[in-house]
Structure 1
Amino acid sequence: FDSVSLTLCPVGNTDWSMKADQIMINTAANIATAEDVTVEFLGVPIFYLPYYQWVPKGRSSGFLTPSLGVYDESSANEGTSYQVKIPYYFNIAPNRDFLLTLNQLSSRGNVIEGKYRQLIAETNYWKDGRLEVEGHYLNEDDITSDKRWFIDSKINLLVNEKTNVNIKTNRVSDSNYFKDIAHDNTSASSLLSEIDVSYNDDDRNLTVSGFAETEQLINSGSASYTRAPELSISKNFKGMNNRNIDLSLVSTKFEHKSSDNNTTGLRTHAQIKLERLISTNAYSLTPSLNLSTTDYSLDNSADQNRSIYSFEVDSKLLLEREVSIFSTDLVQTLTPRLFYSYAPKKNQSALPSFDSTDKDGSYESLFSGRKFTGIDRISNANNFTFGLESDFINEETSDTYLSLKTAQKFYLDDQDMNSDGILVTRRKYSDIATSIDLSLNDFTFNNSLQYDPEANKINKRDSTMTYQPNPRKFLTLGHHDDGKTESAEFSGAYPITQKIHIFGGVNRSLTDSITNRKNTGIAYESCCWALRVEYLKKHIDGNNYDNVTNFELVLKGL
């Protein structure tokens, strides 16, 4: 075609067009080329290329849309600087590709960025998998004169139907890379590299796994415990009449970058759990017995060990009836629940705390039989938990419209273990945990709270309300209070016309009057092009914020 104008807008609409002296389309080779090309948008030329090539169908190698940006330099008096990214895509094979990007930072220099992806085909050694490697490299920073780099690689291998291997490497040249070079991920505290190998045999009820991780601190982050490595094995024996025996052994080497001030060492935990489910259409009863022993071989402290047992019984009554609400046939279920847990008192203050924290006191945690997460703290118990659950279910669709739950724990003694492993005095009952989940047409409401009957106040609350008739018209309101910090959030989008919609959101801490995140934007989308503008403000720390403005123009089909 000579002196041609090409557009993928509907007939009679030329909001954007590509004008060229010549366009040649070879359908057999699936290649199209154009010479002396001008791209016009609303009649205004916005881009020129002497030569342009593309494929009418599928994908091919070639330049992708460049991106432009401006930023304020964080570590030098450079004023406002600019950034230009020019990406080139290599379509190597149907299962492989590579993205090469030249990232020009006016204050720092040229960063070479590459991202390689591959779907791993089946061989004699594995079934399938996926490989992804991304790397950035700046040979010499114009400000610091240092080499700056970043690498993020992931490999996921399904060796066979039972064995998985996952390896992740995430590292940067220095802790300020994301602030100085990437201008992203500036609120993160660390990067983790890890390897995870697991074997799961469902026929034999056997699971074996190995895990190891290392930590790199970034952005003035503080160190935490890492597992280097962790080996675990578990085996389940299923007997007659729903009898189960679970055997497990896990050994973990804990390390810490601040080992002078933090205990490190090897923890080995063995456990046997005997359980039986007794159930009918009217009730269920599940007694269980746990026997465990834990050995600590510590690097900078005396070795420790602990052996303990616990006993639990979980019982439920299963009731239901048919009801009709607003001319809709529903089934209402009602489940009274009684849970008993016992574990002896044992002072554990001499044991380190590698991974144990207090549970949140929610409805689910009251029936878990454990006060702490992890293994290092196993609290004494001699208590009953009373609960009540009720669901309203649509008979035809099986959708749950309303779900109600409430529970409270009552203690038969007045001593409890704190997070330091010391027995302290407590009251005879817990807070009342309640949750309400409502879903009706385009409206959803989720609310959970913990009420203190002694102080007559709500200690914790998590409430969210959402109205969403379609993706471009929604409203979400949320309020969160964990007893230490309180925050509120709002997000939504509203179509002003069929083509224009506005969107925005804010998350604000009510405790310290800090806006954690705020964004506002407007979008226009027609049949053949779209325009989006967004302003984003994100709190990093102290009085430091990330301020980002994104602008995007999409010419559909080009």
Structure 2
Amino acid sequence: MTPSPDGYARPLHRRATARTIIACVLGVTATAAQAGLERMERPPGCDFAPGMEWPEMRELAAEITDIDADYVRREGELISARGNVQLFEQGRRLDTEFLEYDRATGVARTEGDTRLFDGDLLLHTDGGKYRLDEETGEFRRIDYLVQSVPARGSAGVGIQLAPHLHEFEDAEYTTCPIDNDSWWLRTRDLELDRERGIGVARNARIDFKGVPIAYTPYIHFPLDDRRQSGFLLPSAGVSSRHGVDISTPWYWNIAPNYDATFTPRVMTDRGVKLGTEFRYLQPRHEGVADIRYLPSDRVFGDDRHYVQWFHQSRLTSDLRFRLDAADASDSEYFRDFGGADRYSGSTPYLRRRADLTYNQPAYRLRTRIEDYQIIDPELRAQREPYQRLPQITLEAGEYLGRGLAWDLDTELVRFERSESDSLEPLGTRFDLNPTASWRFDTGGFFFEPSAGVRYTHYELDRRGEPGPESISRTVPRASIDTGLVFERPIQDGRRLQTLEPRIFYGYVPFVDQTDIPVFDTGEADFSFDNLFSLDRFVGADRVGDTHQLTTALTTRIFDEQTGQERMSLSAGQIRYFEDREVRRAPDGDPLTESRSDLALEGRVRIGDAWSGRGSILYNQDEGETTLTALSVSYSPSARARINVGYRQREAGNRSIDQTDVSVLWPVTPRIDAIGRWNYSLQEERDLELLAGLQYRSCCYGIRVVARRAYDFDETYDNSIYFQLTLDGLGRFDSGVDSLLSEGIAGYDALP
């Protein structure tokens, strides 16, 4: 080779290559863009780095470094290269104009335009110094791209303090594609700790469309799936019930199995409410404690609170303990805060329950203590639920082979009342309910007779009411369930249709039960499934007498290749041979109808977009429907859905007659319209109106929804909900997701 004037060796036919053992770690900023892990699917036309050619890597053995350059020189321990310098290591590549590496000190220095690539992160700098043996260094003027997130950003100065610990000054970060600056996280001091999975920013702000929308002197965020302490993004909204409503949660990762979230909630019309949720998880124990407190509610005029504790323990492999208890300060609490505090505004009561359950393959033994807090004043006026102090149940059963099986339901319970001035009786109830059955099933035909007897004994405290204090009741029952399944191919074998006739016969004799008080028993709502049941009541205080025959017919159509059910139509009715004299109220009139309502059910799916279902109960004697529930959905894509529903039920004071229409529909490739109209035909007024838009960009999403809802105090609550999602960083939310998920069937929070 001919020496060049500057002392560098000039290659003749190929670039000079220097091979030496250098344990150099160059992926120093691989965590800079890992702050946000929740990435949304980008709309079409949102390539993060269109036309980008990522540098090619080289397969090398460990501790081997290749250096290619126009000029390479080695003087003792000093290696210098310049002109199109390319340094390759296992999983890393460095391109620069000038490289100088001192093997004695372990310091490598680059000058000029420098690119570092580790297979995921591409880093552009103006050069820097690296101590390769200690994997520390300093670099200046940084621009980076990360494929996996994807994300990009820049910084004025970067310092590598340890292999997985980096500090950046004057840094910014975004998940928006190149040439799209919709939002930025900008901070003076950014620290990324990949080993702990923590990112910390000080004096940080979020700019959206060039406008600062949030500032914090300190923010703590995760770089991966591990939980980290710090502020979560706030939520905001406006409501006629609360005024301006702003919440700012702070998450505390106490330990891997403990955490807590503190949520101050500022409501301009009510005051400041503090919510605290504490979660714990142990090998044998787990639970959640939720406490919410609002001192001196300006509207209500007093302190408000809500407390809930859910806990469950695995005491042994077969023994479980479960606790679910809640308490609210007043009966109006859930009307004011139900949407945010787990319960709806129509919550009638809060349950306090503790269960101890012992499970075995053939039986389950449970001991329960249960109490209630009445929330609905109308429920208190009608009849407050009884306490169970305690309730012991045994559920057992076994398949004996050859179609034979037995089941046993047993209960021992003490009913108490908390109020001392009530004249309702108290008492202890023992209930024994064994059943034996045999089933013969060939696939196309089944025959199942069943027989049982129900024995119930009461020891009562009448508290001044007349009647016996010790009562026993024994009621036998028997049934036969049988049916056929016919099949035939249709549509040239692409579909399979079944025809399934079914007959159910049942008999329960009349036993006088007028002296038995009603502790926890109600009448079951009639539906298609009730056609094949002998139980007209839910609870042990009443056993309904019946002598009946049910006939039903079902036809189904299946896709032969996928097995998917395309259509199902069912019709059935009960024929009564005797009047049913047992009623929930002792003075209730017997049921004299000779037949039940005609029950019709159907489901249909046409293609992949159309689906519908319906239930109808028709009273042939009165010539009217007692229940109509119909719904049709059209969803050609995940972003497009129209639901139309109608529900009518005749039930005295609980009668309803409502329509419900909800829509999620794309207006443009990135804008969706959202709406819901729930209307009461019976009361001739709107129950809920929703109208809004959601916009999905390449790196953020926006939802704005206006809501008008009829409340239980016969007034309308008008609210505006706003949500801003910054991909990979977080979400500013005022409850839009839960509102739309409850209001629009099949809705999925995509943006």
Q: TM-score, normalised by structure 2?
A: 0.67
Q: Provide the rounded CA distance (Å) in 2 between the counterparts of 1:178 and 1:322.
A: 54
Aligned partner of residue 379 in structure 2, secondary structure: coil
1:207-265 superposed Cα distances (whole Å, 9 cap, x missing partner): 11122222112364523324413210132244342222223311223345567253432
Q: Which residue of 2 aligns with 1:77?
A: none
Q: Which residue of 1 aligns with 2:10?
A: none
Describe how 1:139-288 pairs up with structure 2 within 5 A.
146-178=302-334, 184=340, 185-202=344-361, 205-218=362-375, 220=377, 222-223=379-380, 224-228=384-388, 229-256=390-417, 260-288=422-450
Change over 3 Å in CA distance of 1:536–1:197 after alignment to 2: farther
Please tell me whether the aligned partners of residues 485 and 509 of structure 1 are also in contact (alpha carbons under 8 angstroms): yes
* Shift of residue 116, structure 1, vs aligned partner: 1.2
* Shift of residue 145, structure 1, vs aligned partner: 7.5
Change over 3 Å in CA distance of 1:410–1:48 after alignment to 2: closer
Aligned partner of residue 248 in structure 2, secondary structure: strand
Please tell me whether the aligned partners of residues 473 and 493 of structure 1 are also in contact (alpha carbons under 8 angstroms): yes
Describe how 1:232-381 pairs up with structure 2 within 5 A.
232-256=393-417, 260-300=422-462, 301=465, 302=467, 303=469, 304-324=471-491, 329-381=494-546
Residue type of the alignment partner of 1:113: G
Aligned partner of residue 562 in structure 2, secondary structure: coil
Count of aligned pairs: 542
Aligned partner of residue 222 in structure 1, secondary structure: helix
Which has the higher mean CA deviation after the structures are superposed, 36-45 or 442-451? 36-45
Q: Provide the rounded CA distance (Å) in 2 between the counterparts of 1:252 and 1:416.
A: 27
- Alignment pair present for 1:67 and 2:229: no
Q: Provide the rounded CA distance (Å) in 2 between the counterparts of 1:107 and 1:425.
A: 54
Residue type of the alignment partner of 1:118: Y
Q: Which residue of 2 aligns with 1:540?
A: 711
Residue type of the alignment partner of 1:358: E
* Shift of residue 15, structure 1, vs aligned partner: 0.5
* Shift of residue 503, structure 1, vs aligned partner: 1.1
Q: Provide the rounded CA distance (Å) in 2 between the counterparts of 1:34 and 1:237.
A: 62
Which of residues 459, 463, 469 in structure 1 aligns to 2:626?
459
Q: Provide the rounded CA distance (Å) in 2 between the counterparts of 1:150 and 1:415.
A: 45
Which of residues 113, 118, 139 in structure 1 aligns to 2:280?
118
Please tell me whether the aligned partners of residues 457 and 473 of structure 2 are also in contact (alpha carbons under 8 angstroms): yes
Change over 3 Å in CA distance of 1:164–1:65 after alignment to 2: same
1:402-459 superposed Cα distances (whole Å, 9 cap, x missing partner): 1121111112234543332556251322221111111232211111112223333333
Q: Which residue of 2 aligns with 1:76?
A: none
Q: Which residue of 2 aligns with 1:439?
A: 605
Aligned partner of residue 366 in structure 1, secondary structure: helix
Aligned partner of residue 345 in structure 2, secondary structure: coil
1:71-104 superposed Cα distances (whole Å, 9 cap, x missing partner): 556xxxxxx8544433211122233221122233
Please tell me whether the aligned partners of residues 296 and 302 of structure 2 are also in contact (alpha carbons under 8 angstroms): yes
Which of residues 644, 649, 673 in structure 2 aligns to 1:482?
649
Higher strand share: 1
Please tell me whether the aligned partners of residues 316 and 335 of structure 1 are also in contact (alpha carbons under 8 angstroms): yes
Q: Which residue of 1 aligns with 2:593?
A: 427
Please tell me whether the aligned partners of residues 321 and 333 of structure 1 are also in contact (alpha carbons under 8 angstroms): yes
Change over 3 Å in CA distance of 1:249–1:39 after alignment to 2: closer
Q: Provide the rounded CA distance (Å) in 2 between the counterparts of 1:420 and 1:395.
A: 51
Aligned partner of residue 239 in structure 1, secondary structure: strand
* Shift of residue 139, structure 1, vs aligned partner: 5.3
1:331-354 superposed Cα distances (whole Å, 9 cap, x missing partner): 222221111111112232222223
1:284-339 superposed Cα distances (whole Å, 9 cap, x missing partner): 11111111111222222433332111111111123222222xx5622222221111
Structure with max Cα Rg: 2
Change over 3 Å in CA distance of 1:450–1:107 after alignment to 2: closer
Q: Provide the rounded CA distance (Å) in 2 between the counterparts of 1:415 and 1:138.
A: 53
Gaps of 5+ in 1: 74-79
Q: Provide the rounded CA distance (Å) in 2 between the counterparts of 1:514 and 1:161.
A: 55
Residue type of the alignment partner of 1:276: W
1:256-288 superposed Cα distances (whole Å, 9 cap, x missing partner): 556725343222211221211123344211111
Please tell me whether the aligned partners of residues 219 and 231 of structure 2 are also in contact (alpha carbons under 8 angstroms): no
Which has the higher mean CA deviation after the structures are superposed, 254-263 or 290-299? 254-263
Q: TM-score, normalised by structure 1?
A: 0.89
Please tell me whether the aligned partners of residues 403 and 437 of structure 1 are also in contact (alpha carbons under 8 angstroms): yes
Which has the higher mean CA deviation after the structures are superposed, 111-120 or 413-422? 413-422
Please tell me whether the aligned partners of residues 355 and 369 of structure 2 are also in contact (alpha carbons under 8 angstroms): yes
Higher relative contact order (CA 8 A, sep 6+): 2
Q: Provide the rounded CA distance (Å) in 1 between the counterparts of 2:525 and 2:195.
A: 64
Q: Provide the rounded CA distance (Å) in 1 between the counterparts of 2:627 and 2:660.
A: 16
* Cα RMSD (Å): 2.7
Aligned partner of residue 541 in structure 1, secondary structure: coil
- Alignment pair present for 1:56 and 2:223: yes
- Alignment pair present for 1:6 and 2:173: yes
Change over 3 Å in CA distance of 1:230–1:529 after alignment to 2: same
Change over 3 Å in CA distance of 1:35–1:434 after alignment to 2: closer
Residue type of the alignment partner of 1:374: G
Q: Provide the rounded CA distance (Å) in 1 between the counterparts of 2:394 and 2:294.
A: 44
Q: Identity of counterpart residues, as a percentage?
A: 25
1:439-486 superposed Cα distances (whole Å, 9 cap, x missing partner): 232211111112223333333211111112233211111111222322
Residue type of the alignment partner of 1:45: P
Gaps of 5+ in 2: 1-154, 157-169, 730-751
Change over 3 Å in CA distance of 1:439–1:227 after alignment to 2: farther
Q: Which residue of 2 aligns with 1:495?
A: 666
Which has the higher mean CA deviation after the structures are superposed, 146-155 or 179-188? 179-188
